[in-house]
Amino acid sequence: MKKLIAAAAALLISGFAFAQGLTLEVGGRASFDLNIFDFKNGDFDSVLYPIGEDTYKKVDLVDELKATPGFGINVFANIGLPFLEGLGIQPEIGFHYHNVAFKPSNYSYNGDLYAFSYEWDDDMKGHYMTLDIPVLVTYKIGLGDMFFIRPEVGPKFSFTLGKFTVEDNKLKTKATALGQSVSETENIKDDDYDVKSAFNFGFEAGVCFGINLGPGAILIDVRYTRDFTKMTVEDFEFIDTKIGDFDFGSGQSINVSAGYSIKVM
């Protein structure tokens, strides 16, 4: 019994000593996000263009990925660990609005009896929102009394909030058969798609530049983020063809943010 009490006392003392060495910094940041959604990593590389009655041609629709602006806000806590000066764990929670786009490839088909051509009026665009929870390992390096840098890397857990919206576009089609040509323009209106799995797993890596000012520090943060999980929507429809479940691809972005943090412990 005495040994058990002694062991418990030693555990409490060591735990208290460990906690005494912890530091805690809390803050927030607002970010400008440059989204480069990887549509080439989804099913757009093999969509079916109709070229006749019940006849289709498989085509890679993604001609070029586009960088589009978004924004986000995050709050965080940086917990400095006592066993190595500068080392910390930084859990965060944030909301991010993602605009995404790619340049679609035009397509033409010339057969013996008929010909078809498809020409897009604009980029394919969409948007969605996520709740992001990165958990980063950080290492603070002082640059004199006023400045510091803090490399950071770790996993990111994301949840898509609401639906994925595909924005309106125009598709110009031209069909030629037996010497006769028919042209028309199809207006593709905004459409909202349910996301099959709202959870996404990825990572973030970057560096934070800090300026000690007042009770805390001004922070300038630059990060690269990448999702490993593909975003799949339900009941997708393309050129009046119902497809069903469809992989849009995976998200990636470069984020530049500004914020402020205060050391509370």
pLDDT tens readout for residues 43-58:
988 887 776 666 777 8
**DSSP 8-state secondary structure symbol assigned to residue 195:** B
Of 98, 225, 228, 227, the closest CA to residue 163 belongs to 98
- Cα–chain center distance at 87: 27
**Are the beta carbons of 187 and 122 closer than 8 angstroms?**
no
User: For 17, phi and psi rounded to 5 degrees?
Assistant: -65, -40
Place of tokens 């690269």: 224
pLDDT tens readout for residues 17-32:
444 569 999 999 999 9
pLDDT tens readout for residues 211-259:
999 999 999 999 999 999 999 999 988 776 778 899 999 999 999 999 9
Q: Which tokens is 214 given?
A: 């007042």
Binned at pLDDT 50, 70 and 90, residue 37 comes out as very high
Q: What is the CA radius of gyration of the chain?
A: 26
Strand partners, 212: 217
**Are the beta carbons of 39 and 62 closer than 8 angstroms?**
yes
**Are the beta carbons of 33 and 72 closer than 8 angstroms?**
yes
Determine the average pLDDT of the residues in 78-83: 92
**DSSP string over 18-71:** HHHH-EEEEEEEEEEEEE--BGGGTGGGGEEEEEETTEEEEE--EEEEE-EEEE
Side chain identity at residue 40, one-letter code: K
